[in-house]
Amino acid sequence: MTKVVNENVITSDGWSISVARYEPDATPLGVIQILHAFGEHYGRYEEFAKYFCVNNYICVVHNQRGFGSIPKKLRGIVKDYDLLLDDMNLVRSRIDNWYPILPVFLFGHSMGGNIALSYVLKRSQDEYHKAIFETPWLSLSKEKSMPAFVIGISQIIGNANYKIAKTDNLNVNHLTRDSQVADEIKNDSYFHTRMSLKLFAQITDSGQYIINNISKLTLPTLFLIAAEDKIVSSKAIIDICNKNQANIRYIVIKDGYHSLHNDLCKNEVFEYMLDYLSKSMEVNINA
């Protein structure tokens, strides 16, 4: 039976971070720190966390700034991208207090993958034993890409006022082929697709930074890539994987959609992840 602990962690600037900790009954093998995707909140990772708890891993996931149970006017608003890295670091430090000695693994999906990759490349890789990134947002897919001048304008406007935001016309059916999950997302009162122009521009810049600096990654890492991703560029992810073959393994999931752990292939994806946490994959797989 999984034990769930919900609590708030207060940042140095007074922001309250909502954290959920999922703990197995048996002696845990390690801790997985989860960074959720754009529009999501920690509640969307309950099935994910329970799967890994059954396999004796603790899961810790927090609501990132601008997401979760916050007033609508604050949705998608973040004063600066670096605050997301600060929040991730704060939760990571609390993990050492909650679960000393245990190895800590890092998981980031989409926007969460962008933030987690930025953290390990800019701040610290030594805090994690291994990392798994699912369809990280490095650059957008052809369907969702924007001209450079639009991104530039977003940056100018966002720097002038970080609160200016737009709502993306995200097609939830592009996240998963599972119609039941798609309906759950559509009916989720906390799910939203609003983001400040400044944050969008900074995530775009961070994606390019990751592409340019992936050779610096020494942390053993697995990338999970959706072959039919209509949200982010699968090609960009494969390209960086091939630039650092010494430390990166990757799996391309045939027919998979963006949110692989919510897709029809989720059981297969969970098994790949569990296998990577317990032992090192020696080859890349085109599943």
Retrieve residue 124's tokens.
């610290």
Residues above pLDDT 90, as percent of the chain: 85
d(CA 23, CA 143): 39
How confident is the model over 44-52, as a mean pLDDT? 97
Q: What is the pLDDT of residue 163?
A: 87
Q: What is the three-class DSSP state of 84? A: helix
| Confidence grade of residue 175 (pLDDT, cut at 50, 70, 90) | very high
| Confidence grade of residue 117 (pLDDT, cut at 50, 70, 90) | very high
CATH code linked to domain 3-286: 3.40.50.1820
- Reported pTM: 0.94
Q: What is the pLDDT of residue 280?
A: 59
CA triple 117-123-127, angle to 5 deg:
80
How is residue 130 annotated by DSSP?
A: E
pLDDT digits (tens, 9 = 90+) for 118-134: 999 999 999 999 999 99
Residues 6+ apart with CB under 8 A from 126: none
pLDDT digits (tens, 9 = 90+) for 158-171: 677 788 888 888 89
Tokens 């093998």 sit at which residue? 29
